[in-house]
Amino acid sequence: MAEKDESDQLQRFIFDQADVRGQFVQLRETTQEVMHRGGYPPGVQRLIGEGLAAATLLAATLKYPSALTLQLQSNGPMALLLIQARSDGGLRAMARFNGEVPDGAPLSVQAPEGTLAITIEPDAEPDRYQGIVDVGGGTLAQALERYFLESEQLLTRVWLAAEGDAAAGLLLQRLPGQPGHDEDAWDRAGHLAATVQPEELLQLPPLTLLQRLFHEETIRLFDPLSYRFQCRCSEERVAAMLLSLGEEEIRETLAEEGQVEVRCEFCNALYPFDEVDVEALLTSPIARAPDSQRSH
């Protein structure tokens, strides 16, 4: 197995004869890529790492190919945390912040009166689904537990850890019970998982961690899922965004700056449009279409 797959993978498991399933994810290369491109300070890095692990855990619960967006927004130091995860393994993240984001402080300090929105966009359906919860005064993991309880009516426990360029997360979920199943398994699994330490989440190999936590339980493992940094920006997407601003704003920016530049907030890629590019953009069939958003 390639080294990247070992460091950026999610391990799914289920308790035999019990209505409990779980997932454990570790991300290193993906997190390193995000941090390298964004140049974020420590407090923001930790929240991004936890958010990447959280979005990966959430995306792995989806039954159909989909894109999932985790968005934390507030009027405090952490203005915006945006994580996007696809069921095919693509991950990307960006953050906006105002001043210093206290590292390790509760969300009531980092993102006061904030909200956490989870949006799911199935590949095969035009509709999207969204659940929103108040962040509250605890942690991102606790906010996720409330999301599952309020939006999915599923008892869920979540543990997240991030340090530097590494991130990890553990999720346990109670499924609808079946007659004859171990009714105490949910409480037992939660007590066992609650003994995990952040450094264990970040450093122990998946099978070692699961054996350490649940060595007295019978659990069944599924094939691991691999994840990677993947940005979906492109010149075509940027051009479409510029057209939505309208011709007047595009030409004003061109006159003032000499060119129109757009930088992707996820991967830091720069897309410059000089005078020739702008003319080609504004005279393209898409820009001239009757239903386009071009200003006249």
Of the listed ranges 24-28, 158-162, 241-245, the one predicted with least confidence: 241-245
Could you tell me if 13 and 103 lie in one domain? yes
- What's the pLDDT at 147? 92
Task: Count CB neighbours of 1 within 10 A.
Answer: 8
Residue 156 resides in a domain:
yes
Q: Could you report the per-residue pLDDT of 35-89, keeping only the tens digit for each?
A: 988 889 999 999 999 999 999 999 998 888 899 999 999 999 999 999 999 988 9
Could you tell me if 147 and 41 lie in one domain? yes
Band of pLDDT at residue 138, cut at 50, 70 and 90? confident
Could you tell me if 123 and 269 lie in one domain? no
pLDDT of 120 strictly over 60 = yes
Q: What's the pTM?
A: 0.84
Count: domains in the chain: 2
| Domain span including residue 257 | 235-288
Could you tell me if 62 and 151 lie in one domain? yes
Q: Could you report the per-residue pLDDT of 207-225, keeping only the tens digit for each?
A: 999 999 999 889 999 999 9
Band of pLDDT at residue 296, cut at 50, 70 and 90? very low
- What's the pLDDT at 282? 85
Could you tell me if 171 and 245 lie in one domain? no
- What's the pLDDT at 178? 62
Are 68 and 62 contacting, i.e. CB atoms less than 8 angstroms apart? Answer: yes
**How large a percentage of the chain has pLDDT more than 70?**
92
Band of pLDDT at residue 136, cut at 50, 70 and 90? confident
- What's the pLDDT at 292? 40
Residue 18 resides in a domain:
yes
Could you tell me if 239 and 225 lie in one domain? no
- What's the pLDDT at 78? 94
Q: Could you report the per-residue pLDDT of 177-196, keeping only the tens digit for each?
A: 665 567 788 999 999 999 99
CATH of the domain at 266: 3.90.1280.10
Q: Who wins on pLDDT, 187 or 125?
A: 187
Band of pLDDT at residue 9, cut at 50, 70 and 90? very high
Could you tell me if 214 and 284 lie in one domain? no
pLDDT of 294 strictly over 80 = no
Could you tell me if 216 and 263 lie in one domain? no
